Amino acid sequence: MATTLQLERSMPGATMSVQDRHASWAILLDGQEVGHIASDQVFEAQLSPGSHTLQLTSTGKRRSAVRTFSAPDESTVEFRCHSQPIWPLMLMALVLPERWIVLKQR
């Protein structure tokens, strides 16, 4: 049976972020591009049960860390993503581009 991956892109609360609002981010599932997600969107994909990796990439070297997750049979695996929410973290992400996008499993 199939498992569903659900990815939501939204900013948590009222924050002072400098989002790349107009850029959609590429979604890499197990190293392969499977789609894009824009600000305030939800992306869903069917995947086989088992271990998988998820990463998001923006322009240039901006990206999330690679997240490994387990997808149980007939379940929904949920993630939430957003850019760094406040200036000090955004500045850090300019030096460490793999921290530009925050990707967390719910």
What is residue 22's predicted lDDT score, i.e. its pLDDT? 66
Token pair listed for 69: 């997750």
49-71: average pLDDT? 93
* pTM attached to this predicted model: 0.83
Report yes or no: 15 and 90 within 8 Å, Cβ to Cβ: no
Kindly list the distances between the CA atom of residue 46 and the CA atoms of 50, 66, 71, 91, in Å, as whole numbers in the listed order: 12, 19, 11, 35
Domains of the chain and CATH, by start: 3-12+24-105 (2.60.40)
In which band, very low, low, confident or very high, does the pLDDT at 86 lie, cut at 50, 70 and 90?
A: confident
Residue 14, burial from CB neighbour count under 10 angstroms (0-12, 13-18, 19+): exposed
**What is the distance between the alpha carbons of residues 78 and 84, in angstroms, rounded to a whole number?**
19
What is residue 49's predicted lDDT score, i.e. its pLDDT? 95
Q: Name residue 59's amino acid.
A: T
